[in-house]
Chain A
Amino acid sequence: MSGYNLERLNFLVVDDNKHMRALVKTILHALGSKNVHEAADGADAFKELRHFPADIIICDWNMSPLDGLDFVRLVRTGKDSPNPFVPIIMLTGHTEMHRVIEARDAGVHEFLAKPISAKGLYSRVKSIIERPRPFIRAGLYFGPDRRRRQIDWKGSERRKNSMEMIPSKSAASAAPADEGGLSQAEVEALLNG
């Protein structure tokens, strides 16, 4: 059987938990990757990017001092960003709808819910390989096209309307415990537009 050979891809794994970094690295090596660098937070990762030409970044959300979202924004829109186009997979336990949208709006390509598996991680990498997306600059947003499929839609804008009904971060944070996290399939459906 044959499949994508990941040998030449450079991965940067960013997570403040060394055990998670070890797990992600183990999976990537098992899938044939040779060049996997790591960083413990967003600031370290940004420094690492200056001399390591990452092809894909796998980034945790909860980190300090620079968390995953701030790091994504810095990579996408920072004046001195070494590669604003680099594909980013956000790895996190936060799968509530407002969080997925927040990550998407920061400019992530893919979202992978923890706990992770080899199949889950590979499916996100495969998706990035098979569906390269143009980038968009619109208002304050710079990042991959958030509508992956372009459809000449004549019906009502149900998605747009439902997005408007999603509470903002501050409003949503008033009752996070009432929100269940989305499953990976639901996250995909949301991100797939």
Chain B
Amino acid sequence: MSGTSKPEFIQPPSTLKDKVAITNDGVDLDALEQAELLIAGMQGSYLEWVEEDLKKIYALYAQAQQETGSRKPVFKDIFSVAHDVKGQGGSFNYPLMTIIGNLLCRFLERLEAEDTEPKDSHMAVVKVHIDAMRLVISQRMEGEGGRAGDNLVRGLNAALSKIQPPKDPAKS
């Protein structure tokens, strides 16, 4: 790699300003509010999508339970669905789904990074996250979910720290 060579600056042949004008019907605060309302109006569709995802992730969990060989490939698929759940919940006023999806993703990432073969105790942690997500959707726990939402997240964190104690920064 020619790390010491002088950088060459190149002007792109066109910029977006050539195609974008400021007009009275352009994007203003009202248009943004309207767009946010449109997203809020998609909440019904979101609930259908996420229910599909929850069925999928539960089926993967059941598959992992039956697995006689390594559970790692199924855990990758579980991660993929959890990642989708994490990425969508907050857009439709279900930030708890994003929080729970994130906790599950980070747990699975750590297992993968440590090259750990998923054991029954790990399966139990996956299960509580799936159950928590199903509860949020079945109870329509929008927003932060109030006290029940707090308790849910606290419970998941407790389950996680039991199986994966936080690393002692003094030792790392």
Contacts and interface: CB of A to CB of B under 8 A. Distances in A.
Given A85-B13, A134-B10, A137-B10, A118 B36 contact: yes
A166 interface: no
Nearest to B111: A177
Given A1-B28, A175-B113, A176-B113, A136 B8 contact: yes
B interface, over-half SS: helix
B20 A4 contact: yes
Interface string B24-40: 11111111101110110
B35 A177 contact: no
Contact of B5 (A4, A22, A139): A139
A183 interface: no
Size category of the binding interface on chain A: 35 or more
Contacts, number: 164
Interface of B: 1-3, 5, 7-13, 15-17, 19-32, 34-36, 38-39, 42, 45-46, 49, 80, 83-84, 86-92, 95, 98, 102, 105-107, 109-110, 113-114, 164, 167, 172
23 contacts: A1-B28, A1-B30, A3-B27, A3-B28, A4-B27, A9-B16, A9-B20, A19-B88, A23-B42, A31-B35, A32-B25, A93-B83, A114-B87, A114-B90, A115-B87, A115-B92, A132-B12, A134-B10, A134-B11, A135-B10, A135-B11, A139-B1, A181-B102
